[in-house]
Chains A and B, each alone.
Chain A
Amino acid sequence: KAGVTQTPRYLIKTRGQQVTLSCSPISGHRSVSWYQQTPGQGLQFLFEYFSETQRNKGNFPGRFSGRQFSNSRSEMNVSTLELGDSALYLCASSLRGGEAEAFFGQGTRLTVV
């Protein structure tokens, strides 16, 4: 069974640009969550989707957005990139979300210059 796939693995962008990251969950999993990981702040929750509906959102500015498609694949978008957005962005896949096992992908390393 394939794991969680995130693309691309690495990305370098310039301040002010926008970026789209992709996540394909484990087959049969309908919940996808996104987290930002930085050395200073650790792992912080961005948002969670289940069956194309956002059920919760973390404390991030509106520049961070996401969506989920009918096949459960998810994308997150960051507009008007800032240097502080440089981080490892992780996607987690779960059967139903909430109090259920969540499995992470390898992440997308975003560097903003």
Chain B
Amino acid sequence: GENVGLHLPTLSVQEGDNSIINCAYSNSASDYFIWYKQESGKGPQFIIDIRSNMDKRQGQRVTVLLNKTVKHLSLQIAATQPGDSAVYFCAETSSGTYKYIFGTGTRLKVLA
């Protein structure tokens, strides 16, 4: 939405550089994780997911890393483009709860 996270942490990167967005999740029982991208005025858009039996998963220009020991998730975006500018959220869920817990979000700004 337009006013999502007025005081979000912001990551500024140069166009063409790689971006790394981090997320600390809360529940050690969480077994499925998703990264979402939200542009102004739009709903969250699915980027990539990972299950707890994996520690890395790659998509197109994106990689998600999962460290269950320290409950940490990261999203790596290769060759960041202006169109990647948005707010990024991690979300976690655990079996049988049927709900996602979202992180606070990180605003990514791509500098030309």
Contact = CB atoms under 8 A, between A and B. Distances in A.
Interface of A: 4, 6, 31, 33, 35, 37, 39, 42-45, 48, 50, 55-56, 58, 88, 90, 92, 97-107, 109
B93 A99 contact: yes
B100 A37 contact: no
Interface in B63-88: none
B31 A48 contact: no
A43 B5 CA distance: 10
Given A42-B103, A107-B43, 11 more contacts: A37-B4, A42-B105, A43-B91, A44-B102, A88-B1, A92-B100, A98-B93, A100-B32, A105-B43, A107-B1, A107-B42
A101 B48 CA distance: 9
A56 B95 CA distance: 12
A2 B6 CA distance: 31
Contacts, number: 75
19 contacts: A31-B98, A33-B100, A37-B4, A42-B104, A43-B89, A45-B99, A56-B97, A58-B99, A88-B1, A92-B100, A98-B32, A98-B97, A99-B32, A99-B95, A101-B34, A104-B46, A106-B41, A106-B43, A107-B42
A32 to B, nearest CB: 11
Contacts of B49: 101
A105 B36 CA distance: 13
Contacts of B32: 98-100
Nearest to B31: A99
A45 B101 contact: yes
Contacts of B27: none
A43 B4 CA distance: 9
Contacts of A90: 43-44
